[in-house]
Amino acid sequence: MDIWEKKVLIDFGCFANMICASIESYDTETFGLIGGENKKNGLRLMTAPPLLSAEQGEDFVDYLACPEKYELAKALIDDLGLWLVGDYHSHPNAIAHPSEDDLITCLNDIKTVREQNISTFDWWLQLIISIERKDYKRNFKPVFIFDDDDDEIQVTVKRGKVGWKIHIMGHWCRLEELKEGDWCQRKDAKLSLNKKTYPSSWEF
């Protein structure tokens, strides 16, 4: 079984990393790496350190602005005994589909990952987190509302008079040698939440 055929289970720790980073840097895109473990029942995503040194814009993020910090985040995942399985970035006020820039960046990523022998797998996972701010007239107690269907994850976070609509989608990019003008092979990732790692008070 190829790694892309497996269920991708997002642990609470990883989910919290990605959501906090995407909300905190809402005006610009955020970027981070993902560490996990390959289990029988699926690929568990367990941590997602954000790369705070990445150059962030409204519709771009340059994670190689500070290559030594990229190295550090990579080393951190390695020190935790996890595998580096891919990366994530946010799309503030935009859909969770890869932009044209993302597809081009992806080709450079594949080159870097291959040259530096970073990945354990033949595929690289890319998660995109679409995030949209909502303002409400009434006050909400902090609440998370999940909709986990068909390999995608949708979460609404409400807190006070502010809310966030978050949509997470993922795809696998094959780490293959590419010729000029080639696009990489891509497969949709089968995402779901690893619910047993979430606080028991949370309802799904």
List interacting residues with Zn ion (CB under 5 A).
99, 102
> Smallest distance from the beta carbon of 102 to Zn ion, in angstroms?
4
Nearer to Zn ion among residue 9 and residue 166 (C-beta): 166
Asked whether the CA dihedral 89, 94, 96, 99 is positive or negative, the reply is negative
Q: Count the neighbouring beta carbons within 10 Å of the beta carbon of residue 20.
A: 13
> Smallest distance from the beta carbon of 139 to Zn ion, in angstroms?
33
Nearer to Zn ion among residue 53 and residue 99 (C-beta): 99
> Smallest distance from the beta carbon of 107 to Zn ion, in angstroms?
14
Separation between Cα atoms, residue 62 and residue 105, nearest integer Å: 9
Residue nearest to Zn ion (CB): 102
| Residue found by looking up tokens 């705070």 in the block | 52
Per-residue DSSP letter, 64: G
Tokens of 127: 């998660």
> Smallest distance from the beta carbon of 58 to Zn ion, in angstroms?
11
Q: Which residue in 77, 71, 92, 79 sits closest to 25, CA to CA?
A: 92
Nearer to Zn ion among residue 80 and residue 95 (C-beta): 95
Nearer to Zn ion among residue 17 and residue 105 (C-beta): 105
